[in-house]
């Protein structure tokens, strides 16, 4: 089982868009399990109280309840995820270009979206 840690941007995209290869992801990449860090849940809670992100955040929080949580905490999701990758490595699912670059520089792997399909970036 490959654990994939989701950041806020990836999770919002995953829960609010129709992902074309979601059903076949396990055969394409391997048996995956999306994990939600506590720090991302906190970020979504804050977004659910803002006017322009409220609807997506509420849908995403509901969706996140069906996923396994992981004890990654902190004030900012990106920093907490980077700290986790420095210590443990792993696959991080994100849409954030800056975070992608930092994860790759630390030797971690990045999962993202391309044309509404989940891809594992080189």
For the chain, the domains span 2-121
pLDDT digits (tens, 9 = 90+) for 80-104: 999 999 999 999 999 999 999 999 9
Q: What local confidence, expressed as pLDDT, does residue 111 receive?
A: 95
- Tens digit of pLDDT for each residue in 68-78? 999 999 999 99
Task: Please report which confidence band the pLDDT of residue 28 belongs to, taking 50, 70 and 90 as the band edges.
Answer: confident
- pTM, two decimals, is 0.90
Task: Look up the CATH number of domain 2-121.
Answer: 3.40.50.1010
121/42 Cα distance (integer angstroms): 27
In degrees, rounded to 5, the angle at the alpha carbon of residue 101 between the alpha carbons of residues 118 and 15 is 30
25-30 long-range contacts, CB within 8 A, separation 24+: 25/118, 29/2, 29/111, 29/118, 29/120, 30/2
Percent of the chain with pLDDT strictly greater than 70 = 100
């Amino acid at each position: 089982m490959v654990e994939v840690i989701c950041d806020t941007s990836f999770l919002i995209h995953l829960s609010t868009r129709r992902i074309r290869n979601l059903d076949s992801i396990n055969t394409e990449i391997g048996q995956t399990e999306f994990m939600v860090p506590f720090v991302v849940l906190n970020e979504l809670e804050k977004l659910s109280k803002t006017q322009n992100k409220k609807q997506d955040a509420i849908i995403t929080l509901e969706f996140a309840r069906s996923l396994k949580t992981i004890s990654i905490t902190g004030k900012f999701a990106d920093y907490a995820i980077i700290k986790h990758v420095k210590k443990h490595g792993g696959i991080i699912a994100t849409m954030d270009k800056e975070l992608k670059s930092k994860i790759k520089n630390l030797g971690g792997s990045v999962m993202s979206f391309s044309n509404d399909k989940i891809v594992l970036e080189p």
